[in-house]
Structure 1
Amino acid sequence: MKCVAYCRVSSDNPEQMTSLENQIRHYTELFNKKGFEGADCGMYYCKDGKKEYTRYIKSIFADEGISGTKLKNRGAFKYMLECAYRKEFDAILVKNVQRWARNVEDGAGIIKKLKVMGIKVIFEDGWLDSSNPANEATINILFVMAQEESRAKSTAVQFGIRKAQEAGKFTSACPYGYKSKNGFLVPIPEQIEVVKKIFDLYLEGWGSTRIVKYLNKENIPTQKGRKWSTPQIYYILANQIYVGRQITHTVVNTDINIDRFEHKGKIYRSRKPIDEGSWIITEREDLRAVSDEIFDKVQKQTIIRKEMFSNSNRPSNAHLFSNLLFCRNCGMAMRRKKLWGWKRKDGTRNTGIEWVCIQHDKYHNDICRYRNSWHEEVLIKRVKEEIENLRLNKENLDKMFSQYMQSYFSAEELTEKIKELQHQLDDIKAQMSANLRLFSKDIIGEEQYKQQNDELQSSKKAISKELTKLKNIDEEKKQALLKYNNYIDFLNNVDIDNLDNAQLKKIINRIEAYTIFDDDGKEHRYIYIVWNMLDKSYDDILYKSAKN
């Protein structure tokens, strides 16, 4: 009878790693003792991160450092089944059911398939032969016991992990910029500087692809010493760890034996999201890399860019007015084009640059009937004039800022605002809990859950932030004043004759161009400048009209 043996050294017990060679030696001697003929197939399999290592071992299939919980992780075991289906041997020897599988579905299910093909599995402990009907019940009971043992261990491990998280420890892979020391995150200064650079470049108008190219060109490696990719940039830009907010315990594995399965076209996963109210959030100012203001600006910019992509616009800082100039008639961005004049007799032309409505330029009057064409030099002149006018009206700006502070930070309305925001927050939390229950009960799919949850999370963060500001009103007053003073300082010191797109975006949030006609049919064109002065919209401060 041709025979093979299966060995596995569990990843949850490092001390067993040294026993692999002993197991191989044991089965070689057992084959000789029992008179079995070793089959001419076998494999040693080991996985380290994404790298896989294999080698041939006659008659032995061995998985090293691989957990037995999930079949998909065991390369040698899967290859052994392929050999079995090709009838390269008649029997498989294995120490016990725990080495074979740790759940009933995989363990008993595979044995049944092999039995149909005439291949027996023999467990040394008790010499249980799967081809003997009298042993079937015993083997199944042992599989159930192995599965429950794994589940109990998993529960204990998850409990230990949660206790560590509650103590402020970080139990996942360290995010870029940090290392683990005794289970706690510790900043890596040189990587924190890279994080700051990524945030700064993004706010200057750089896209993720351009940032990736820059980091790779500068030979700045990732946490694992590899090249950067765009998902890693977005992960950094959205991760609250960089404002000192460590968030853990966001998902739970409801079944360690199953990752996912599909039934009637619907995908089910064992990893389920945890309600945000149960997240473990640890505030650690020593982990901060960027200010709340910079982080919030990046989140807003990300939303703006997504909207631009959906409207077939690409974020850019290539030109002075890139991603700043919009057609007020249709709301779309305006594009930069070369303007060609009439050809002279000597063959030369007058050329220039103009900015026009994208919608009108593409579809003419079908969507937007206003071309809104502006010569670039006219726009530059108008914007410089308005910036200069803003500089000369410091007293008016101070007065308007005072009005803004009274309007937004009024103590009289503070209690009512807090009550209303708290009511909105409670309502959103209730919706999130209901959405989670629907998903957990498979009433709604993952895609629908994610879409609804993302929308609710976005609203919750905005309201929570507003509520925190109101509850810390004195600090918010200081921050508002600091931002206003920083804005005025930058406005007064910037060289308006040599502005670039990044500098202009620090002064101006948006420029809207539009066209109207009077009763005589005469065309009048205007631009509105939305100054990038304050977070809250206050019309008298933020809007400044300029006639063409």
Structure 2
Amino acid sequence: MKKVRKIEPNSKIIKPKLQVAAYARVSTDNDEQLVSLEAQKTHYESFIKSNPDWEFAGIYYDEGVTGTNKENRSELQRLIEDCENKRIDFIVTKSISRFARNTIDCLELIRKLSDIGVFLYFEKENINTQSMDGELMLTILSSLAENESISISQNNKWSIQRRFRNGTFKLSSPPYGYDYEDGILIVNEEQAAVVRRIFSEALSGKGAQKIADDLNADGISPKKAALWNASTILGMLSNEKYTGDVILQKTYTDDHFKRHRNNGEKDQIMIRRNHEAIISHEEFDAVNELLRQRGDEKGIEKGKGKYQKRYPFSGKIICSECGSHFKRRIHYNGGSQYIAWCCSKHIHDIAKCSMRFIREDDIHQAFITMINKLIFGYEFILKPLLKSLRSLNYSANLTEILEIEQKLEENMERSRVLTNLLTKGYLSSSLFNEQINELRAEATLLKEKKKALSRSVNSGMTAVSEVEQLLKWASKADMIESFDEAIFSRYVESIIVYSQEEIGFKLKCGLTLKERLVR
């Protein structure tokens, strides 16, 4: 008779513990909320350590920040990075509204974490993303959290506006030149002297960048940044607080939690003589009138921070060495002056770009030469180009685009089927995640390919149209004797500066024609 001997294991197999972390957040920095945060930290440390299968991996918490957008929370970002680096296996948090109050952010984060094998437990809703029935419930709950956030945001806005009107609103931080004492703006005499200097120099005609450069050269430090810059100077020159007045609600947050400059969409409130003035109203108004005049001269539209098309070359001259745009400058030579265009990077740091300036009259002459060559030799330059472009067949690309669109529709349909199977319990979460991620990856590749093909077709068709119009014009045009802004704007896309002796005119039809700069 055969005997069976039972062999006992020499040692027990130890299952590694899950590395579990907690995430907590409070949205304001008042004492009551910070106490709540401490309570959450204590609770979750005890909660995690009480589970024998879990290893406490720390608590991540953000305080004094809003939860409407994930980019505002540094600790949440650090938590995600630690998950990606395999330091955390599981996350515990109070509720969906504490984790994210934006549906898109919530689902995006959960999917991202699920893809790397990290799951979450929402205590209030009793949801474990590893074993949840589907995304439908999570979507509903996160939508409710977002609605709750909107309601809270509206209440906060109402509270702030009420404080605006009754005069109890406190500025987030005092501007340069002031300090806070018992909630009141008090003049900081050392900084106030710098403020007066800035306004005086602006009134005397100095530009904002020159004022900033002089302050930096004198070793005077701004309040927050390391160095002064033109934007800081312009912001101070337009800040009415230096006159003792305060304008409230210069910006506002929309229903999608995006901040905008208030250009009349919301009521603004002016509080006169709110605090001691550093600058008189007369000097403040004079400086801002001067800034307005300069802005009109330069074609600057207030609030957009960009130049309008003041000069035909504005934004069109590009440095071949560093890729920066050229800026217009007035150069002086003895008793005469001339207009030059200079690389913006070279202006600020010659070590980063060695490209020197080019004279505007040289660009004019080069353009005249280039255009006259086109007019004279259009049959040898433009006609062969047009023939070559027309010979290109885009039917294959168009057919492929249609095929990609069909594949994208099929991809979406398969995604819908998978979601239905998951919500009905016919498909496990792990298998769903695996297949849905494959479909998303496939969709991303298809969209990128479609975009590239569409760009190629559009570019080719545009080039044909541009060459046709340039050829039609050149075949009938007379030679030009002076720079023509209308012709330049119509046919030239940009100017590439190769050196002080050579530039290239990149035409809208895709052709780049080089010319020597002759003085």
**TM tier, smaller:** 0.3 to 0.5
TM-score (norm 1): 0.46
TM-score (norm 2): 0.48
Higher strand share: 1
